[in-house]
Chains A and B, each alone.
Chain A
């Protein structure tokens, strides 16, 4: 079973608007990562946030992490048509060996031009 849950399941916005996606998880974690997937192909790593971090930025991306609520959000600012993709959060459980990632079902983002 999958640990993470993304919200919303689908999001449709106009180019230039901001997109916010949320992720919740169930167990204590080492890290949380966000990935993008275009048209059912490979996953592209976007950003990693460690359990002791609260916020992280990378270009137009802003990720927050609230370990007390076991939740994270991904904000994409000034969206572009090329941002159209599925977005997944993935966690690796605290104390487990290696980088076994547990994914949510993803948010499908559509940016209309």
Chain B
């Protein structure tokens, strides 16, 4: 049973560019959440998708957007990249309404 998978593993972009990160949830899970983890910090909640809709959002600007597909996989898009967007982006899946999120290995984004 595959766990949560994310792609790509690493990504280097320049300021002002746009990036798309991808996530496939653990088999049987229907909810995907995205987190940003800056170096030396704990993860911060970006948003959560359930039934192809954004259900909750953290304190992130509109430059961060997402999408969930009918097969429950998800994308995170970030526009107009800033240096401060450099971080590890983590995807987590769960089966609502139960607790217990399973995290993927993350995508390391570096903005130059």
Contact = CB atoms under 8 A, between A and B. Distances in A.
B21 interface: no
A4 B31 contact: no
A90 B42 CA distance: 9
Interface residues of A, number: 28
B102 A45 contact: yes
A43 B103 CA distance: 6
A2 B99 contact: no
A103 interface: yes
Given A42-B106, A105-B42, A33 B99 contact: yes
Nearest to B105: A42
Interface in A38-61: 40-45, 48, 50
B55 A98 contact: yes
Interface string B90-103: 10101011011111
Interface residues of B, number: 32
A99 to B, nearest CB: 5
Given A42-B105, A42-B106, A106-B42, A92 B99 contact: yes
A77 interface: no
Contact of A45 (B42, B56, B103, B108): B103
B50 interface: yes
Contact of B56 (A31, A40, A96): A96
A100 B99 contact: no
A48 B99 contact: yes
Interface string B72-112: 00000000000000001010101011011111111010000
Given A92-B99, A99-B96, A104-B42, A43 B56 contact: no
Interface of A: 2, 4, 30-31, 33, 35, 40-45, 48, 50, 88, 90, 92, 96-106
